[in-house]
Structure 1
């Protein structure tokens, strides 16, 4: 088993099902989520997403009031309108985004499910996406948190891990839609046997 960076503990309680969507860059995480979210909504699930960005990003525009106030030191900066609201928090002393903190920020919204894109080294249940054509390694053998692998072509997975066809969006949607009901029993890593 490989060593993993230490992360603060996540509060894995019955009230807030979490599922990581983990894959190498270029596998199609965002594209899958774009197709998956309407299918989950059609099944009555209110699904939140936390997305990891590997680079400096800004949702604000220089010159706008919210940007000016954030630059002046507002922490957090929340901007709201009739149509939406967004909160921005500067984290200059953090090397990496703190997933535990982001989940707690989502908790008051009471989604049925939080999908976490990226954050593949964090200890939380995951759906691994895998495309052999990328030439990268499959992580399921070294990560006991992987609960299912969606791949193309089919791959062998360890006992206790589901396999899904990465090109069958309806089957993936069914598996993810069932996740909140399976969450209490499956929120721990699988054991190494």
Structure 2
């Protein structure tokens, strides 16, 4: 499986780019999983639903399954910040690509998403694992710019670049 991180500050367009890339890769016949970092507590369940009630009763895990979807909820015994190597084994290893959104400091090859309009700094000077930058502001990148500057507004070109460089994203646990 190939694993690529998409790193950048909030508001830079990570989710929009990842969403579009997933659709483009699926159109090419590839299977893609997404691993998303959630900065805040989040809830996928709703009060009163059976699965919520099972969790409230103290279940360690609740696996909800239908004929087209499964969702596993696992209670962590205490708050812990899991990292990409902890989470990747939970995904189906037969997928072609895993897009990792967030996890800025993860030790994996990444594409940085950056827009000058956010007013936030670039990450690439401090992160040698950034292989390319996707931006709408290439002329405003501080030197030295990464070797590969991609147009964030042209997702098919980003997809092509990923496919052309797929070997660099082969996951090595």
| Fold match by TM threshold 0.5 | yes
Change (3 A) 1:143 1:59: same
**Further displaced range: 95-104 or 18-27:** 95-104
Distance 2:57 2:83 in 1: 23
Q: 1:44 aligns with which of 13, 29, 40?
A: 29
Distance 1:70 1:180 in 2: 40
1:134 aligned partner? 118
Q: CA deviation at 1:71?
A: 2.1
Q: 1:162 aligns with which of 148, 151, 167?
A: 148
Change (3 A) 1:46 1:117: same
1:30 aligned partner? 15
Q: CA deviation at 1:159?
A: 7.6
1:96 aligned partner? 81
Q: CA deviation at 1:69?
A: 1.1
Higher relative contact order (CA 8 A, sep 6+): 2
Change (3 A) 1:47 1:93: same
Where do 5+ consecutive residues of structure 2 fail to align?
none
Secondary structure of 1:61's aligned partner = coil
Distance 2:118 2:145 in 1: 25
Q: Would you say the 8 A contact 1:43–1:177 is kept in 2?
A: no
Q: CA deviation at 1:156?
A: 5.6
Q: CA deviation at 1:24?
A: 0.2
Q: CA deviation at 1:124?
A: 0.9
Q: 1:120 aligns with which of 104, 117, 121?
A: 104
- How many pairs were matched up? 170
**Further displaced range: 19-28 or 167-176:** 167-176
Does residue 69 of structure 1 match 2:54? Answer: yes
Q: 2:168 aligns with which of 172, 182, 187?
A: 182
- Relative to the length of structure 1, the TM-score reads 0.80
Secondary structure of 2:158's aligned partner = helix
Secondary structure of 2:125's aligned partner = coil
Distance 2:37 2:146 in 1: 27
1:148 aligned partner? 132
Change (3 A) 1:162 1:61: same
